[in-house]
Structure 1
Amino acid sequence: MTTAATHTASTLLDSRPEARTFSVQDLLDGVARGRVRIPSFPRGLKWDRMHAKLLLESLYRGYPVGTLLLWETAAPAGEGRIGSLTLPAPRMENALWVVDGQQRIVSLARILLAADPDADGFALYFDLDTADFVIPSVTGKRRTDPSRWMPMTVVLDSEKLMQWLFDHAADPGSRQRRDTAIQLGRRIREYEIPAYIVRSDDQAILRDIFNRINSAGKSLDDADVFDALNGARFQGRPSTISEISSELENLEFGRIEESILHRLLRVLLGLPVVEGARSEPPRLADTEAEEAYRRTAATASQIILFLKNDAGIPHYDLLPCKQAFVTLGRFFQFHPHPTPRSRELLSRWIWRGALKGAHQGNTVSTRKVLARKVLAHILPDSEERSVDGLLEMVKDRPVVIPDVADRFNFRCAASKLLALALLSFEPRNLLTGDRLAAGQLMRRVPSVHDSSPLPQIFSVRPGESDEYEGYLQSAANRIFHPPHQGGIRRLLTGITDPGLLLSHGISTVAQQRLVAGDSAAFLKLRAEWMRPRVQSFFDRHVRWDESDRPSIASLIIDDEAG
């Protein structure tokens, strides 16, 4: 691994970066021909169409849009993909790799180079009457007055632009619109974007430049910075943390946060879980980076399968504390094939720590200390002692466990535990009777006011009795079911199958109160029915009253080792 200590003042560029400007037309011509390349290692594309619209407005108005940083070096033959575009990328000795400016160049390419004006998710039109950039939702208006709405895909090529104007010349108001269109095309095509071109065979220098640029401006996420410095230009996948996250979605466990995968990657490299405020990101050789990404993806897959198959946690968003994901990564790094007994005990550790709140810290500093203490118990030379050390940290039973009448807030670990308990009832679709899968249920998009994928049976109405309002805010008023336009409450009143009701923790007696319109009694009866079953669900996972001894096989000492 290359460390920061090797980058001293003696590390100098052979020649100063070339400062020059590129017109938008020349820049995108380079993109189309494969001279300007978008590598995988700078910032992941996080802009949407509104960001791109603001960029086009700035170009049209003549506002500054920042400086590009380009690296001139050799590039292999291949094929570039940008949004709906597939671009040829022949082998070149002097390709310009975009180190800083990816968001801007990708946005311009998707808007101005797309073959079809409506084919790309960044597509824009220009309203020639109001001089405003608009999205393609004006289809109906374009039919009635087509000369008013100019697709941005004709702007970059002056011949295309003139042909479009010729085709619409007979429409009313065409003279004023023609002048506006010509002015727009000229201002966009001829806009000059400043750039620095660095020529050096030393990737460490380029990474250092990027890191310094990033430090001087708005900070990126730690995962973005790591990708920027270490994501190599190799052809294999995954080559960024974002790609790892995308590939893991094939395991139907939801999307793992890139920040968690970055922490996992750091742990597998033997680095502190969280990067210090004054420490520099690690800089790896291309082969080291490729191996780090590959190992992180493989370990994350192993963690996911353990959580689903052994711990009974079917989705990432239901994991009560995300730091446990990173801890499991360290364990599987040292002990990739744990015994069934170790897997059982690790599952107890997950659940006990979640119920006690032992897996989480309230501040960044406490999370750092907690991670350091937990990871210290994982020993490379002993699987059993590692498991025993983790269990020792959560040996005391919690004074209070989550209750179905507690206030439900899906952002909190306690509410995620209650959600898992509700899921253990094996909920079925109230319309079809089919069992609902966790992934299907978790795909619900929460509202601005409610972050939970579990919709409410009754809307929360302030001003009710204290007890009733408490139940309205609790898990007793939540249900694991896709939202229904007519309301979940109406569906429940028409169910005649007792088993279907019980799959949602609703007894026949509780349903009778619901039909009678006594919502307070319904919620109370549902809570009373669920409470002992939720307790039993937790007991099955934590197994406080059972022995935590390792397997007998692990206690047998080999004669030759004695």
Structure 2
Amino acid sequence: MYGTGPIDQGNTKMTTAGLETQPSATTYELGNLVAQAWSGRIHVPHFQRDFRWGTTDVLRLFDSIVKGYPIGNLLLWVRKTPARSFTLGQLKINAPASPDAFWVVDGQQRITSLANALSPEGHLHEPFSIYYDLREKRFIAQPKTREPQHIALPVLFDLKKLLGWFRTEGELVAELFDEADRVATALRQYKVPAYLVRQDDLDILTDIFDRMNNYGKRLNRAEIFSALYAGPEEGAAERLNLSRIADRIAARTGFGTIDTDTVLASILARRGPDPSRDIRNEFSSTSRRTAPEFEDEDQYAAYGEGEEALVRAIGFLQAEAEVPHIALLVYRALLVVLTRFFAHFPDPEPNTRRLLRRLYWRVAVSGPAVFKGSFTQVARVLCARIRKGDERGSIMGLMDAMAEAQPSIPTIERFRTNEAAAKIILSSWWSLRPRSLVTAAPVDLQSLSTLLADQKTAATVAHVIFPRGLTAQQVLYAANRLFLPSTEDPVSEITTLLAHRPDHLDEETWDRVLASHTMSRQTSQTLAEGDREGFLQLRQQIIQQHLNDFLGRMAEWDYEDTPSLDSLDFDALDELDEPEELL
């Protein structure tokens, strides 16, 4: 017999309680829908993900509309809303109070794209700068050179503006008016289906949001987490969330912006040994399988403490592991592990820090092989070795997890800034503190952070020395790259600068500059003679030797992974050494 009580599915309790009234289905003509967005009747809840579409996505949306293809249903939450100001894409909206405003539960990317691309203000910004080519009969991104047949979407969408355009700018393509009228009519009259939900319970709304985004195209884990624990709309601008934590850490450390999935995994790792656990019961005291390791801690305390642990982990990477920026971080799982460690042990012993440095570099060069080929398990495996209240046991557990790892050196014959080998090489170069080829001043962390900003790779500061004239294999050599995070050096003159000592620099200073870029007088002279192949061979040798030395110093493969002397119980050792007759 089927009951109406709670339904137990795994660890999740669900009841049959839901919406008081079923959603009503309706359709809106696109012209009407966009007008409502401009007038402030359509709002985006703060728990929604950020706008993520690019120009290609917006182009495809309008192409589908004109072709009459379906673009999916909208799900709109109808609720009483006070007057408020907010941004929708690039549009600043001052919305009046409304008894039945629409809040977008599903369809944010589509509504934001439509409202901005069809608005004279929003159209000025990418990815909304869309035009229609009347002759080619297709939508295009803003062209570098405007042709007479190119018409901006806000003009095409507005009948009065469209007629005026054909009397002025479009006079040369008057014969294409019928095509413009056809597309304009298709846009304005396109019917967008929508479901309207009338429900005051925010928990039910976020449950709908969660379920919808677990079918079809999924949100990432951090986006779902942010939605589930968003809290009320009121006060959202002041509360911590994953994106705000990432921004604050970037400002505090210069490490760049960490993706929100890594921020979430780090916060979860701090509170428990499995950062991949179910997120739906994270702040429920009754539904979690295991108690959090920091008891009586609410969501925002967890956010704040998680941020602090992340900052400590990043400080360790920058100061002791020679990883100055996220663009040089080999595996983000390692940041998650370090965050858990520094959460439980904010000020580790010097020997512990030395072992942590070994751990980072041994994992970095070993890759997923030591973890049975799957790096998705790294954070889970290593976090489980970190035990609350036991610093020495935790660090030894981490080192034991790498006991089977073998010393290895990444290849220097394939340098791609998005690959682990190149990030390792770049860290080794950073350890030399690269100097300006013009002023000889070493580049500091702040300068590097400013140049890299939010870049996910170091491509913008790892310059190609010879873009042409080499074999396909030589182009990829590490020796064909120069790590030059400086605004003072003219990048277009790299080869000239490397080949000739500036008159204002003495020879000793010039030697330091060359050494900071894994070069010598000989490599500089070879370059001056125009011998590209000889230059690359000589520099590859220097890079290889430096990389060997760097990894030997960082990973310390030949050292015993033992605890510090003060952690040993010498009384117990003495007892073991006593003659048997004295025991």
TM-score range, shorter chain: 0.7 to 0.9
Structure 2 CA distance for partners of 1:34 and 1:360, relative to 1, 3 Å? farther
Aligned-partner Cα distance in 1 for 2:312–2:462: 28
Q: Does residue 429 of structure 1 match 2:436?
A: yes
**Aligned mate of 2:27, from 7, 10, 21:** 21
Q: Which residue does 1:480 correspond to in 2?
A: 483
Distance in 1, matches of 2:237 and 2:229, equals: 14
- In structure 2, C-alpha distance between the alignment counterparts of 1:272 and 1:221, rounded to whole Å: 18
DSSP 3-state at the match of 2:527:
helix
| Matched residue type, 2:236 | Q
Q: Kindly indicate whether the alpha-carbon contact (under 8 Å) linking 1:238 and 1:244 is maintained by their aligned counterparts in 2.
A: no
Counterparts of 1:224-243 in structure 2, within 5 Å, are 224-232=223-231, 233=233, 234-236=235-237, 241-243=242-244
Is 2:332 the counterpart of 1:322?
yes
Comparing 207-216 with 195-204, greater Cα deviation is found at 207-216
Residue pair 1:445, 1:453 contacting (<8 A) in 2 also: no
Letter in 2 for 1:272: D
Which shifted more, 37-46 or 228-237? 228-237
The equivalent of 2:92 in structure 1 is 86
Verify: 1:11 aligned to 2:21, yes or no.
no
Separation in structure 2 between the aligned mates of residue 381 and residue 235 of structure 1, nearest angstrom: 35
Partner amino acid, structure 2, of 1:189 = R
- Distance in 1 (CA, whole Å) between partners of 2:18 and 2:219 is 26
Following TM superposition, by how much is the alpha carbon of 1:516 offset from its aligned partner in structure 2, in angstroms? Answer: 3.3
Percent identity over the alignment is 29
Contact kept, 8 Å, 2:81 with 2:99, in 1: the verdict is: yes
1:398-413 equivalences under 5 Å are 399-402=406-409, 407-413=414-420
CA distance 1:405–1:153, shift in 2 (3 Å): closer
> CA distance change for structure 1 residues 510 and 19 in 2, over 3 Å: closer, same or farther?
same
Alignment of 1:54-453 (within 5 A): 54-115=60-121, 117-119=123-125, 121-137=127-143, 140-141=146-147, 145=148, 148-155=149-156, 157-161=158-162, 164-165=164-165, 168=168, 171-174=171-174, 176-232=175-231, 233=233, 234-236=235-237, 241-250=242-251, 251-270=253-272, 272-274=274-276, 281-282=280-281, 293-338=303-348, 342-357=352-367, 361=371, 363-364=373-374, 367-368=376-377, 370-394=378-402, 399-402=406-409, 407-436=414-443, 437-439=447-449, 442=452
2:44 aligned partner, one-letter code: I
Q: Secondary structure at the match of 2:18?
A: coil
Deviations 1:241-260 (A, max 9, x none): 44443443323212323332
Corresponding residue SS for 1:549: coil
Aligned residues: 534
Aligned equivalents of 1:404, 1:74: Cα separation in 2 = 61
Preserved CA contact (<8 Å) 1:32 1:88: no
Displacement after TM superposition at 1:45 (Å): 1.7
Query: Which letter maps to 1:493?
Result: A
3-state SS of paired residue (1:13): coil
Instruction: Pick closer, same or farther for the CA change 1:240–1:139 going to 2, 3 Å.
Output: farther
Helix, strand or coil at the partner of 2:315: helix
Structure 1 residue 56, shift from structure 2 partner:
1.7
Deviation sequence 1:291-331 (CA, Å, 0-9, x none): 55555444333322222123331011212222110111212
- Structure 1 residue ranges without an equivalent (≥5): 558-562
Give me the whole-angstrom Cα distance separating, in 2, the residues matched to 1:542 and 1:205. 51
Match of 1:504, SS state, is coil
Which residue of structure 1 aligns with residue 528 of structure 2?
515
Contact 1:110 1:120 in 2 (8 A): no
Closer, same or farther: CA 120–474 of 1 in aligned 2, 3 Å:
closer
Relative to structure 1, the CA distance from residue 157 to residue 323 in structure 2 (aligned partners, 3 Å threshold; closer, same or farther) is same
Note the C-alpha offset of 1:239: 5.9
Q: What CA distance in whole angstroms lies between the structure 1 residues aligned with 2:512 and 2:167?
A: 66
**Contact preservation (8 Å) 2:28, 2:193:** yes
Deviation string, structure 1 residues 62-82 (Cα, Å, up to 9, x no partner): 221110111223445432112
How far did 1:22 drift? 1.7
- Determine if contact 2:55/2:126 at 8 Å carries over to the other structure: no
**3-state SS of paired residue (1:70):** strand
Deviations 1:495-523 (A, max 9, x none): 35333222212111232233334444434
Q: Which residue of 2 aligns with 1:560?
A: none
* C-alpha spacing 1:23/1:329, structure 2 compared with 1 (3 Å): same
Aligned equivalent of 1:525: 538
- Please identify, of 58-67 and 334-343, the stretch whose mean Cα deviation from structure 2 is larger: 334-343
Q: Answer yes or no: is the 8 Å Cα contact 1:79–1:88 preserved in 2.
A: yes
Unaligned runs of 5+ in 2: 1-7, 285-296, 503-509, 572-583
For 2:31, the aligned partner's letter is: Q
Question: For the Cα contact (< 8 Å) 2:318–2:324, is it kept in 1?
Answer: yes
What RMSD, in angstroms, separates the aligned Cα atoms of the two structures? 4.0
Separation in structure 1 between the aligned mates of residue 379 and residue 123 of structure 2, nearest angstrom: 50
Equivalent residues of 1:67, 1:194 under 8 A apart: yes
Residue of structure 1 equivalent to 2:505:
none
The answer to whether the Cα contact below 8 Å between 1:330 and 1:375 also exists between their aligned partners in 2 is: yes
Aligned residue in 1 for 2:56: 50
Query: Normalising by the residue count of structure 1, what TM-score does the alignment of the two structures yield?
Result: 0.80
Q: 1:65 to 1:93 in 2, by over 3 A?
A: same
Q: Secondary structure at the match of 1:96?
A: strand
TM-score relative to the length of structure 2: 0.77
> Retained in 1: the 8 A contact 2:72–2:193?
yes
Change (3 A) 1:268 1:101: farther
Q: Mean alpha-carbon deviation: is it higher for 428-437 or for 42-51?
A: 428-437
Give the residue type in structure 1 aligned to 2:431: S
Question: Secondary structure at the residue paired with 2:87?
Answer: strand
- SS class of match (2:34): helix
Q: CA 1:347–1:89 in structure 2 vs 1: closer, same or farther (change >3 Å)?
A: farther
Instruction: Mark the CA change 1:224 to 1:405 in structure 2 (over 3 Å): closer, same or farther.
Output: closer
Is residue 386–residue 398 contact of structure 2 (8 Å, CA) maintained in 1? yes
SS at match of 1:216: coil
Q: State the distance in 2 between where 1:306 and 1:440 align.
A: 20
Tell which deviates more after alignment, 123-132 or 62-71: 123-132
d(CA) in 1 for partners of 2:87, 2:406: 56
Deviations 1:400-452 (A, max 9, x none): 332675654545544422221122222223345443343366579899xx979
Is the Cα–Cα contact under 8 Å of residues 518 and 546 in structure 2 kept in the other structure?
no
Looking at structure 1, the residues matched to 370 and 229 of structure 2 have their Cα atoms a distance apart, in angstroms, of 29
CA contact (8 A) 2:434 2:442 kept: yes
The 3-state SS of whatever aligns with 2:132 is strand
Deviation string 1:436-476 (CA, Å, 9 cap, x unpaired) is 343366579899xx979634445698879xxxx6x775434
Q: Which amino acid aligns with 1:507?
A: S
Tell me how far 1:101 sits from its aligned partner. 0.5
Distance (whole Å) between structure 1 residues aligned to residue 348 and residue 82 of structure 2: 42
Contact 2:326/2:456 (<8 A) preserved:
no
Pick closer, same or farther for the CA change 1:530–1:77 going to 2, 3 Å.
same
Q: Could you give the per-residue CA deviations for residues 7-38 of structure 1, whole angstroms, max 9, x where no partner exists?
A: 53522321111111122222223222322111
- Structure 1 counterpart of 2:514, from 501, 504, 525: 501
